[in-house]
């Protein structure tokens, strides 16, 4: 989650606006992720990410059925 420039949600790639790793200091209704795609904004709270299951290839399945993948920009030299 840390360092992700983009997040893919069910195959759609969003730009990362805000990311906060869930921790003991966050509450269930705290915003931990804000994503943008043009005029569309998507917000996730900690409760939605709790219990996410790693399914391989960098992807996580949320309890609601959404598939998330955290992506970082690659630098080529």
Domain ranges across the chain? 6-71
* Residue 2 clears pLDDT 80, i.e. is over it: no
What is the chain's alpha carbon radius of gyration, rounded to the nearest angstrom?
12
**Which pLDDT belongs to residue 50?**
92
Q: Compute the distance between CA of residue 74 and CA of residue 20 in angstroms, rounded to an integer.
A: 21
| Residue with the two structure tokens 């996580």 | 60
In this prediction the pTM is: 0.85
For the stretch 9-65, pLDDT in tens is 999 999 999 998 878 788 999 999 999 999 999 999 999 999 999 999 889 999 999
pLDDT band at 73 (very low <50, low <70, confident <90, very high): confident
């Amino acid at each position: 989650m840390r360092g992700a420039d983009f997040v893919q949600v069910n195959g759609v790639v969003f730009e990362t606006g805000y990311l906060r790793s869930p921790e003991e200091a966050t509450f269930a209704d705290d915003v931990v992720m804000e994503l943008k795609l043009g005029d569309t904004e998507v917000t996730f709270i900690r409760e939605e990410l709790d219990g996410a299951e790693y399914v391989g290839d960098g992807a996580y399945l949320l309890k609601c059925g959404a598939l998330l993948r955290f992506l970082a920009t690659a630098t080529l030299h």
